[in-house]
Structure 1
Amino acid sequence: MSGLMILADAQPLRGAFVLQVWRAGALVQQVAEPNMIVNGAKNQLARLVGGAGANRQITQIGFGTGATAASPNDVGLVGAFWKPVTSVSYPATGQVALAWGLSTAEANGLSITEFGLRCADGTLFSRKVRAPIVKADDLSLTGVWTILF
């Protein structure tokens, strides 16, 4: 293959997960950590670029109870509570930020150990595993999940 130049991106597709934990309206914890972009995301993006764009967009965030380490082959969350993302913005070139929240009235009693983003067609896009957060009615969660290209 003479004359063929191979180019590589300096950074792979990745995610930045920001979580804020609120107890009785007061911020008690904030974390910013990377997350796993799973293989389902690559299939979604390939089809989107190829023109098969129906239902490829991220529409939901999930809160689950699975504790296995994140893997590129992940396809779902365990015992998940799913809800729509709050808003979508584009903070910089090659970035999409998905804001989300979990109110004091939602998912109470759930020991949240994993978070996930899901596309409109049900495909898992990304997954984050962390130490448990036992959801109670005085606890709310907010955050922004940014996908960086």
Structure 2
Amino acid sequence: MNIAEQIALRGELSITLHRAGQQPQTITEHNMIMTAAKSALARLIAGQGSGKNINRIAFGTNGVGPTPNDQTISSAYTKAVTAITFPAEGQVRFTFALGESEANGLNIRELGLLCTDETLFARKVRGLIEKTSDLSITGSWTIIF
């Protein structure tokens, strides 16, 4: 008898837009895990994962849909994640914030999770968010095994 177990790696991105004088707007969507993420995970579990831990989020301008082989976020504004938690068995959550004074003028169309060594782990393309000084963004990105 041949028994096989598959682990489906997926991600869920939740962002909340906080605009002065308006109710916060929360958007939750699935994202694409990049092919490079598999190599990063393989190195991590082999004890050879130097630089393969996720530590930043990137906000970028490329509105072209993701492909598994994507490697960069265009015109990226990057920030350290603010916290890492484990909300359930087989899940890791990265929280982040982009303040009112950050990345103003950036036409955000994509977000990405980055490893310490710049490996793009996950990417999400979405509708335009025009970053202005009256807008802050908070969010979380959950990777689910």
Please give the TM-score of this superposition, normalised by the length of structure 1: 0.93
Aligned partner of 2:34 among 29, 33, 38: 38
Identity %: 46
2:48 counterpart of 1:58 = no
Count of matched residue positions in the alignment of Structure 1 and Structure 2 = 145
Per-residue Cα deviation, 1:23-56 (whole angstroms, up to 9, x for no partner): 0174432111100000111110011111102111
Residue equivalent to 1:16: 12
* Pick aligned residue for 1:48 from 19, 37, 44: 44
**Could you say which residue in structure 1 is the equivalent of 2:72?**
76
Kindly indicate whether residue 120 of structure 2 is the aligned counterpart of residue 109 of structure 1: no
Shift of residue 8 of structure 1?
A: 2.9
**CA–CA distance in 2 between the matches of 1:98 and 1:75?**
20
Distance 1:19 1:6, change over 3 A: same
Q: Which runs of 5+ in 1 are unaligned?
A: none
Q: Deviations over 1:53-80 (max 9, x none)?
A: 2111100000000011011000011111
8 Å contact from structure 1 (residues 19, 141) kept in 2: yes
In the alignment, the residues of structure 1 paired with residue 43 and residue 24 of structure 2 have an alpha-carbon distance, to the nearest angstrom, of: 41
CA RMSD of aligned residues (A): 1.2
TM-score under structure 2 normalisation? 0.96
Is residue 62–residue 116 contact of structure 1 (8 Å, CA) maintained in 2?
yes
Looking at CA atoms only, which structure, 1 or 2, has the larger radius of gyration? 1
Unmatched runs of 5 consecutive residues or more in structure 2:
none
Correspondence for 1:129: 125
Match of 1:7 among 4, 10, 16: 4
Q: Cα deviations across residues 91-118 of structure 1 (Å, max 9, x unaligned)? A: 1110000000100000000000000000
Letter in 2 for 1:130: R
Provide the rounded CA distance (Å) in 1 between the counterparts of 2:48 and 2:119.
14
Q: Any runs of at least 4 consecutive aligned residues in structure 1 with deviations exceeding 4 A, and if so which?
A: none
